[in-house]
Amino acid sequence: MSDTEDDPEDSVDIEFDASSIPQFEEHATAIGYICLYWAHLEQVLNAMLELLIPMHDRDVSRCLTSNIDFREKIQVAIGLGYMRKAREDWFDALQKQLNYIDNDLRPERNRTIHDTWDWRGPEIIRRQYATKLSRPQARQPQVLTVEIAKPVPIGELWGLAFKIFDASSELSALNNEYLMDAALRPK
């Protein structure tokens, strides 16, 4: 096979074989829950922004929150949370939770949702396609990597789903604390 021909085993075009679906079904279900829990988390973050930027017209509020990227929403919530905090411990918990969501959960959720899944072998593999040059040892030639393949056990996916659910619950609790501390907040 010449260097220009594609190896069929390396093809990114995974054929959908109905007989392989049952072995991927559990993973697909967990990925679905990750999507649902993430959507709920984003709605809780939107509610936080609506609390921090009080707008009396819900449509105006939704125009704002629906057009801000998730990472930007987090930065806006941190900034406004700092400005509108009633208590330092509330803000510290908010900042810690939002940083955890942004730095830990979001990248793993993105890998889960946007990478390619391969269920043709004995393990379910998540494939991330990215170009990276690295030098494994000093004074050695650089090595090009274009794919990172990682077996993903079902427990890892459910673990991520529950972490997202818990983060959403924690953020919701912070929203409730913010409401309860209304009398203490700066006007």
Whether the per-residue pLDDT at 14 is higher than 70: the answer is no
Which residue, chain included where needed, has tokens 């998540």?
126
What confidence score (pLDDT) does residue 86 get? 84
Between CA 95 and CA 82 the distance in angstroms is 9
pTM attached to this predicted model = 0.83
Report the range of poorest mean pLDDT among 30-39, 54-63, 131-140: 54-63
**8 A C-beta contact, residue 53 and residue 80:** yes
Task: Classify residue 45 as left (phi > 0), alpha (psi -120 to 50) or beta.
Answer: alpha
**Mean of the per-residue pLDDT values of the chain:** 88
Between residues 183 and 163, which one has the greater pLDDT?
163
Between CA 139 and CA 126 the distance in angstroms is 32
Between CA 52 and CA 44 the distance in angstroms is 12
Whether the per-residue pLDDT at 20 is higher than 70: the answer is no
Crossing angle for the helix pair 21-52 and 70-84, nearest 10 degrees? 30
Which residue, chain included where needed, has tokens 């930065």?
75
Interior/surface letters 69-95, b for 16+ CB within 10 angstroms, e for the rest: eeeebbebbbebbeebbbeeebbebbb
Query: What average pLDDT does range 55-72 have in this prediction?
Result: 88
Q: Strand 125-134's sheet: what is its strand order?
A: 116-118, 125-134, 143-151
Backbone CA torsion sign across 20, 23, 28, 34: negative
Pairing status of strand 143-151 against strand 116-118: unpaired
Q: Is 128 helix (H, G, I), strand (E, B) or coil?
A: strand
Return the closest-CA partner of residue 29 out of 127, 150, 157: 157
Whether the per-residue pLDDT at 34 is higher than 50: the answer is yes
Which residue, chain included where needed, has tokens 């806006």?
76
Could you state, in order of their start, the residue ranges of all structural domains in the chain?
21-117+153-184
